A = this chain, B = another copy of it.
Amino acid sequence: MKEMGKYDSRVFQHGTLGQLVPGLFEGTLSVSDLLLHGDFGIGTASGLDGEMILLDHVPYLFQSNGQVRILKGSEKVPFATVHFTQVKDALTVEKMTQAQLGQFILANYPYKNLFFAVKLTGEFEFVKTRAVAKQERPYKTLTQVADEQAVFEANNVSGTLIGYYAPALFHGMAAAGYHLHFLATDHTIGGHLLDFKVANAQVELQPFATVEQHFPDEDQEFLAADIDLSDLHAQIEQAEGQN
Protein backbone atom coordinates (compact mmCIF):
# COMPACT_ATOMS: atom_id res chain seq x y z
CA MET A 1 0.00 0.00 0.00
CA LYS A 2 2.44 2.59 -1.20
CA GLU A 3 0.16 5.57 -0.70
CA MET A 4 -0.41 4.91 2.95
CA GLY A 5 2.90 6.35 3.88
CA LYS A 6 4.34 6.18 7.30
CA TYR A 7 1.22 5.11 9.21
CA ASP A 8 0.47 1.67 7.82
CA SER A 9 -0.47 0.52 11.28
CA ARG A 10 -3.56 -1.31 12.33
CA VAL A 11 -5.58 -2.23 15.36
CA PHE A 12 -7.26 -5.63 15.64
CA GLN A 13 -10.51 -6.16 17.47
CA HIS A 14 -12.23 -9.47 18.13
CA GLY A 15 -15.93 -9.18 18.84
CA THR A 16 -17.68 -5.88 19.36
CA LEU A 17 -18.87 -4.07 22.42
CA GLY A 18 -22.35 -4.05 20.93
CA GLN A 19 -22.32 -7.81 20.95
CA LEU A 20 -21.67 -7.86 24.71
CA VAL A 21 -24.74 -5.72 25.37
CA PRO A 22 -27.28 -8.53 24.95
CA GLY A 23 -25.09 -10.94 26.93
CA LEU A 24 -22.86 -12.75 24.42
CA PHE A 25 -20.10 -13.18 27.03
CA GLU A 26 -18.65 -16.57 26.10
CA GLY A 27 -15.05 -16.55 24.85
CA THR A 28 -14.71 -17.09 21.10
CA LEU A 29 -11.03 -16.50 20.25
CA SER A 30 -8.06 -18.08 22.03
CA VAL A 31 -5.57 -15.79 23.73
CA SER A 32 -2.75 -17.37 21.71
CA ASP A 33 -4.53 -16.43 18.48
CA LEU A 34 -5.27 -12.96 19.83
CA LEU A 35 -1.59 -12.39 20.56
CA LEU A 36 -0.80 -12.88 16.88
CA HIS A 37 -2.39 -9.46 16.38
CA GLY A 38 -0.79 -7.32 19.04
CA ASP A 39 1.53 -6.92 22.00
CA PHE A 40 -0.50 -4.27 23.85
CA GLY A 41 -4.22 -3.89 24.34
CA ILE A 42 -7.31 -4.41 26.44
CA GLY A 43 -10.16 -6.89 26.69
CA THR A 44 -12.07 -9.19 28.94
CA ALA A 45 -12.13 -12.95 29.63
CA SER A 46 -14.83 -15.53 28.98
CA GLY A 47 -17.91 -14.82 31.08
CA LEU A 48 -16.68 -11.23 31.51
CA ASP A 49 -14.31 -12.53 34.19
CA GLY A 50 -12.44 -9.33 34.93
CA GLU A 51 -10.53 -6.78 32.89
CA MET A 52 -7.67 -7.77 30.59
CA ILE A 53 -4.66 -5.55 30.09
CA LEU A 54 -2.09 -6.80 27.59
CA LEU A 55 1.35 -5.37 28.36
CA ASP A 56 4.33 -6.32 26.24
CA HIS A 57 2.82 -9.67 25.20
CA VAL A 58 1.64 -10.58 28.73
CA PRO A 59 -2.18 -10.87 29.07
CA TYR A 60 -2.86 -9.84 32.66
CA LEU A 61 -6.39 -10.24 34.00
CA PHE A 62 -7.42 -8.01 36.87
CA GLN A 63 -10.28 -9.83 38.61
CA SER A 64 -13.15 -8.58 40.73
CA ASN A 65 -11.51 -10.07 43.85
CA GLY A 66 -8.58 -7.68 43.36
CA GLN A 67 -6.19 -10.43 42.23
CA VAL A 68 -4.19 -10.47 39.01
CA ARG A 69 -3.61 -13.62 37.00
CA ILE A 70 -2.11 -14.24 33.59
CA LEU A 71 -4.45 -15.68 31.00
CA LYS A 72 -3.41 -18.99 29.43
CA GLY A 73 -3.02 -19.21 25.69
CA SER A 74 -5.84 -21.72 25.48
CA GLU A 75 -8.38 -19.51 27.25
CA LYS A 76 -10.84 -17.73 25.00
CA VAL A 77 -11.94 -14.11 25.02
CA PRO A 78 -15.26 -12.67 23.78
CA PHE A 79 -13.93 -9.15 23.20
CA ALA A 80 -10.47 -7.66 22.94
CA THR A 81 -8.67 -4.87 21.11
CA VAL A 82 -4.92 -5.17 20.51
CA HIS A 83 -2.18 -3.65 18.38
CA PHE A 84 1.53 -3.83 17.82
CA THR A 85 3.32 -0.79 19.15
CA GLN A 86 4.81 0.82 16.09
CA VAL A 87 4.50 4.59 15.89
CA LYS A 88 4.90 6.74 18.97
CA ASP A 89 3.95 10.33 19.47
CA ALA A 90 5.34 10.90 22.91
CA LEU A 91 4.81 13.70 25.36
CA THR A 92 5.02 14.22 29.10
CA VAL A 93 2.09 15.37 31.19
CA GLU A 94 1.82 16.49 34.80
CA LYS A 95 -1.07 17.03 37.18
CA MET A 96 -4.00 16.35 34.90
CA THR A 97 -7.36 14.82 35.60
CA GLN A 98 -8.82 12.21 33.29
CA ALA A 99 -11.10 14.81 31.69
CA GLN A 100 -8.25 17.30 31.25
CA LEU A 101 -5.99 14.72 29.64
CA GLY A 102 -8.72 13.49 27.29
CA GLN A 103 -9.58 17.02 26.16
CA PHE A 104 -5.91 17.98 25.86
CA ILE A 105 -5.22 15.10 23.50
CA LEU A 106 -8.29 15.75 21.33
CA ALA A 107 -7.52 19.47 21.13
CA ASN A 108 -3.91 18.97 20.08
CA TYR A 109 -3.63 15.63 18.34
CA PRO A 110 -4.27 15.68 14.58
CA TYR A 111 -5.79 12.20 14.47
CA LYS A 112 -9.08 12.72 16.31
CA ASN A 113 -10.98 11.15 13.41
CA LEU A 114 -8.94 7.94 13.56
CA PHE A 115 -8.85 5.19 16.11
CA PHE A 116 -5.74 5.70 18.18
CA ALA A 117 -4.03 3.98 21.08
CA VAL A 118 -3.23 5.78 24.32
CA LYS A 119 -0.56 4.54 26.70
CA LEU A 120 0.57 6.27 29.87
CA THR A 121 3.36 5.08 32.11
CA GLY A 122 4.19 6.90 35.31
CA GLU A 123 2.78 8.13 38.57
CA PHE A 124 -0.88 8.64 39.31
CA GLU A 125 -2.14 10.72 42.23
CA PHE A 126 -5.37 8.78 42.13
CA VAL A 127 -6.97 5.95 40.25
CA LYS A 128 -10.45 4.50 40.45
CA THR A 129 -11.14 1.30 38.57
CA ARG A 130 -13.75 -1.38 38.24
CA ALA A 131 -13.62 -5.06 37.45
CA VAL A 132 -16.63 -7.08 36.43
CA ALA A 133 -17.32 -10.31 38.33
CA LYS A 134 -17.33 -13.55 36.34
CA GLN A 135 -20.80 -14.29 35.05
CA GLU A 136 -22.48 -17.66 34.79
CA ARG A 137 -25.11 -18.77 32.33
CA PRO A 138 -27.77 -17.71 31.70
CA TYR A 139 -25.93 -14.47 31.07
CA LYS A 140 -27.46 -11.14 32.00
CA THR A 141 -27.18 -8.05 29.83
CA LEU A 142 -24.10 -5.83 29.95
CA THR A 143 -26.01 -3.09 31.76
CA GLN A 144 -27.07 -5.46 34.53
CA VAL A 145 -23.53 -6.78 34.89
CA ALA A 146 -22.04 -3.29 35.12
CA ASP A 147 -24.17 -2.73 38.19
CA GLU A 148 -22.40 -5.66 39.88
CA GLN A 149 -18.84 -4.55 39.31
CA ALA A 150 -16.24 -4.34 42.07
CA VAL A 151 -14.76 -0.85 42.42
CA PHE A 152 -11.19 -0.10 43.54
CA GLU A 153 -9.44 3.12 44.50
CA ALA A 154 -5.83 3.97 45.28
CA ASN A 155 -3.69 7.05 45.82
CA ASN A 156 -0.09 7.64 44.74
CA VAL A 157 0.33 4.63 42.53
CA SER A 158 2.77 3.79 39.73
CA GLY A 159 1.43 1.96 36.77
CA THR A 160 0.51 1.65 33.12
CA LEU A 161 -2.64 2.91 31.47
CA ILE A 162 -3.51 1.49 28.07
CA GLY A 163 -6.51 1.85 25.86
CA TYR A 164 -8.04 3.36 22.77
CA TYR A 165 -9.88 6.37 21.49
CA ALA A 166 -12.66 5.53 19.05
CA PRO A 167 -14.28 8.24 16.93
CA ALA A 168 -18.02 8.55 17.50
CA LEU A 169 -18.65 7.00 14.09
CA PHE A 170 -17.75 3.63 15.55
CA HIS A 171 -19.97 3.70 18.59
CA GLY A 172 -21.38 0.18 18.80
CA MET A 173 -18.28 -1.47 17.43
CA ALA A 174 -16.41 0.13 20.33
CA ALA A 175 -17.24 2.59 23.06
CA ALA A 176 -17.11 6.03 21.45
CA GLY A 177 -14.48 8.09 23.18
CA TYR A 178 -11.78 6.70 25.40
CA HIS A 179 -11.80 3.12 26.72
CA LEU A 180 -8.93 2.75 29.16
CA HIS A 181 -7.58 -0.02 31.41
CA PHE A 182 -4.94 0.22 34.10
CA LEU A 183 -2.51 -2.02 35.95
CA ALA A 184 -0.35 -0.87 38.86
CA THR A 185 3.32 -1.77 38.68
CA ASP A 186 2.93 -3.76 41.91
CA HIS A 187 -0.39 -5.27 40.69
CA THR A 188 -2.27 -3.95 43.74
CA ILE A 189 -4.89 -2.21 41.61
CA GLY A 190 -6.07 -2.51 38.05
CA GLY A 191 -9.10 -2.83 35.81
CA HIS A 192 -11.32 -0.62 33.70
CA LEU A 193 -10.55 3.01 34.53
CA LEU A 194 -13.45 4.99 35.94
CA ASP A 195 -11.42 8.01 37.03
CA PHE A 196 -7.81 9.02 37.56
CA LYS A 197 -5.47 11.93 38.06
CA VAL A 198 -1.99 11.86 36.59
CA ALA A 199 0.88 13.06 38.77
CA ASN A 200 3.43 12.78 35.96
CA ALA A 201 3.54 10.34 33.10
CA GLN A 202 4.90 9.65 29.67
CA VAL A 203 2.06 9.63 27.12
CA GLU A 204 2.35 7.62 23.91
CA LEU A 205 -0.20 7.91 21.13
CA GLN A 206 -0.47 5.76 18.02
CA PRO A 207 -3.04 6.37 15.26
CA PHE A 208 -4.30 3.53 13.08
CA ALA A 209 -4.94 3.69 9.36
CA THR A 210 -6.81 0.39 9.50
CA VAL A 211 -9.25 -1.12 11.95
CA GLU A 212 -9.42 -4.88 11.50
CA GLN A 213 -12.71 -6.01 12.99
CA HIS A 214 -12.88 -9.77 13.45
CA PHE A 215 -16.10 -11.59 14.25
CA PRO A 216 -16.65 -14.96 15.95
CA ASP A 217 -17.82 -16.35 12.64
CA GLU A 218 -18.02 -19.95 13.81
CA ASP A 219 -19.76 -19.29 17.11
CA GLN A 220 -23.33 -20.49 16.73
CA GLU A 221 -24.58 -18.43 19.66
CA PHE A 222 -23.30 -15.22 18.07
CA LEU A 223 -24.50 -16.14 14.61
CA ALA A 224 -28.00 -16.92 15.82
CA ALA A 225 -28.39 -14.03 18.27
CA ASP A 226 -31.07 -11.42 17.72
CA ILE A 227 -29.18 -8.28 18.61
CA ASP A 228 -31.70 -5.56 19.38
CA LEU A 229 -29.97 -2.32 18.59
CA SER A 230 -32.82 0.05 19.33
CA ASP A 231 -31.24 1.18 22.59
CA LEU A 232 -27.74 -0.17 22.04
CA HIS A 233 -25.97 3.16 22.25
CA ALA A 234 -27.72 4.12 25.46
CA GLN A 235 -26.86 0.75 26.99
CA ILE A 236 -23.21 1.02 26.00
CA GLU A 237 -23.01 4.49 27.50
CA GLN A 238 -24.59 3.27 30.71
CA ALA A 239 -22.30 0.23 30.97
CA GLU A 240 -19.07 1.88 29.88
CA GLY A 241 -19.71 5.44 30.99
CA GLN A 242 -16.61 7.39 31.86
CA ASN A 243 -15.89 10.96 32.72
Which A residues form the contact surface with B (CB < 8 A)? 1-5, 7, 16, 18-19, 29-30, 33, 36, 110-114, 167-173, 207-215, 217-218, 222-225, 227, 229, 232
A96 to chain B, nearest CB (A): 24
**Complex formed: what's the CA distance from A212 to B209 in Å?**
10
| B215:A114 contact, CB within 8 angstroms | yes
Point out the residues of chain B lying under 8 angstroms from A217, CB to CB.
4-5, 7, 111, 114, 207-209
**Complex formed: what's the CA distance from A194 to B113 in Å?**
31
Nearest CB to that of A228 among chain B residues? B168
Across the interface, A223 reaches (CB within 8 A) one of B29, B113, B215, B225, namely B113
**Complex formed: what's the CA distance from A218 to B33 in Å?**
31
* 18 A-B pairs in the complex with CB atoms less than 8 angstroms apart: A1-B33, A3-B29, A3-B218, A7-B218, A19-B169, A110-B223, A112-B223, A114-B217, A167-B227, A168-B229, A169-B229, A170-B172, A171-B172, A171-B229, A208-B215, A209-B214, A209-B215, A211-B215
A77 to chain B, nearest CB (A): 12
| A111:B223 contact, CB within 8 angstroms | yes
Given contacts A33-B2, A227-B168, contact A210 B210 (CB under 8 A): no
A106 to chain B, nearest CB (A): 11
Given contacts A213-B211, A215-B209, contact A222 B113 (CB under 8 A): yes
| B30:A3 contact, CB within 8 angstroms | yes
Point out the residues of chain B lying under 8 angstroms from A227, CB to CB.
113, 167-169
Point out the residues of chain B lying under 8 angstroms from A173, CB to CB.
169-170, 173
**Complex formed: what's the CA distance from A33 to B1 in Å?**
6
Point out the residues of chain B lying under 8 angstroms from A2, CB to CB.
33
**Complex formed: what's the CA distance from A156 to B115 in Å?**
46
Give the most central of A114, A170, A213: most B CB within 10 Å: A213
**Complex formed: what's the CA distance from A93 to B207 in Å?**
45
Point out the residues of chain B lying under 8 angstroms from A210, CB to CB.
212-215
**Complex formed: what's the CA distance from A169 to B13 in Å?**
14
| A218:B172 contact, CB within 8 angstroms | no
11 further interface pairs, Cβ-Cβ under 8 Å (given A168-B229, A211-B212): A1-B33, A4-B218, A110-B224, A111-B223, A113-B225, A167-B227, A168-B227, A171-B229, A172-B172, A209-B214, A210-B213
